[in-house]
Amino acid sequence: MVRREPFGQANLFHLNAGGSWRITLTNFGAALVAWHMPDGDGQAGNILLGFDDFQDYLDDDQFTGVIVGRFANRIAQGRFNFAGTPYLLPRNDSPNHLHGGPDGFHRRVWEADVFERSDHVGVRFGLLSPHGDQGYPGTLTVRAHYRLYTEDRLTLDLEADSDRPTLVNLACHAYFNLAGGGSVLDHRIQVHASRYLPINEACLPTGEIRSVEGSALDLRRPQSLRGVLSREDQQLTMAGGVDHCLVVDGHPGELRPAANVEDPASGRRLRVAATQPGVQVYSGNNLKGMPFKKHAGLCLETQHFPDSPNQPGFPSTVIDPDHPYRERMVFT
C-alpha cells in the first residue's frame, strides 16, 4: 500500500509492502524522509534523519535524505572542460561546486507516479533538467525509482537520459542512525573497499587511488565508528572525520556488496549493495546541532568519484543519447 498526503509544496508517500519496514518519501528532492525498522525486540524505530515540517527541507543545507545531482560531491573550483568547451558552475562549497549547486535536484519538486504490485510497492520520481541548468550542458530526463519489497528490501534505481553528451553523477544523501537517535559513534561499519581516494585540504581527491592498508580508512572488517575517528591520520584531520570516497571492490556496473552498518545496542543492521564504482562515507562531521548534532547520522553515498570531470584517471561520468545513466542501490 502507498498512502499519499500533502506536504507543503510537495507530497509525502508512505510505503507499506506488508513486511516489517515502513518507508516515507517526498517528491521534494525525491527524498527519503523516514524508515521505520524493528530492533532486536521487535520495536520499530526510525533509522533516518529527516524533517516533519516542509519548511525545514527548504531551510536545510545538509542535503538531508535527498537525491543530489546533476553531479554528486565536489567539482574543483566549480569548473571543468568538456568536449573542448569550458564550463563554469555555481560555487556553493567555496571555492568548489557541491552536489549539483545551490539549486540542484535536491531543491526541486519532482513528478511522482505511485505503483503497487503483489510483492512490492513504490514511487517513480521524475524530473526534467533543461540545457544549461546550473551550468551543465544537455537536457536531462532524470528518474528515481524506489521499490519496497515484502521481504524487507528497498531498491533505488537512478536513471538519466540526455539529448547530447554530458556529465552525470547522482547519489542518495540519506543520513542513517540505526539507534533511532543520539550519536552514530557506536555503530559498527564495514566497507567492501580495498582502495580509497585521498583528499587535500579542500576535501577534493588528489587524483591518486591508494590502498586502504595501514590507513584509518581500512574498513574492510567491522569496527566502531568511534574507533575509526579516534585514529591519528592526516586524512581524518583534513576532513574533520570521515568524508571520503572508497573504491568498492568488484566490477562497476555489477551489483555487489558496498557497505554494512550495525547498531549493537538495538540490534538493527543494514546492508548496502550498489553498481556504482565508489561509496562516499560521511560521518556527519558538519551537522551543526540544530536539529541534528555532529555525528547524528552516517551517510553511505554510492556514486561515481568526486571531481571526475577534472581527473582523467577516474572512471568516466560521460553519458550521451546512446549511453544513458543507469545505476542501482539495494538495501537489505
Domains of the chain: 2-331 (2.70.98.10)
Query: In this structure, what are the phi and psi dihedrals at residue 184, rounded to the nearest 5 degrees?
Result: -100, 10
Closest CA to 257 of 192, 305, 212: 192
Which residue has cell 554494512? Answer: 260
Q: Is 208 part of the annotated catalytic residue set?
A: no
H helix runs in the chain, sequence order: 54-59, 225-229, 234-239
Peptide bond into 222 cis (omega under 30): no
Using alpha carbons, select from 88, 258, 65 the residue that is nearest to residue 177: 65
Q: Contact at 8 Å (CB) between 325 and 160? A: yes
Instruction: Give me the catalytic one of 97, 301, 304, 327.
Output: 301
Determine whether 97 is an active site residue.
no
pLDDT at 290: 79
Q: Is the peptide bond before 70 cis (omega within 30 degrees of 0)?
A: yes
Rounded to whole angstroms, the Cα distance separating 195 from 213 reads 8
The residue with cell 542518495 is: 172
**Catalytic one of 97, 106, 145, 173:** 173
pLDDT of the residue at 137? 98
Q: What is the pLDDT of residue 34?
A: 99
Residue 79 β-bridge partners? 88
> Per-10-residue mean pLDDT for the chain, 332 residues long?
98 99 99 98 98 97 98 98 97 96 98 98 99 98 99 99 98 99 98 99 97 98 98 96 98 98 98 99 92 97 99 98 99 98
Q: What is the pLDDT of residue 288?
A: 86
Q: Where are the alpha helices (DSSP H) in 209-252?
A: 225-229, 234-239
| Structure-block grid coordinates of residue 35 | 524508515
Q: What is the pLDDT of residue 14?
A: 99
- CA-CA-CA-CA torsion sign (160, 97, 284, 56): negative
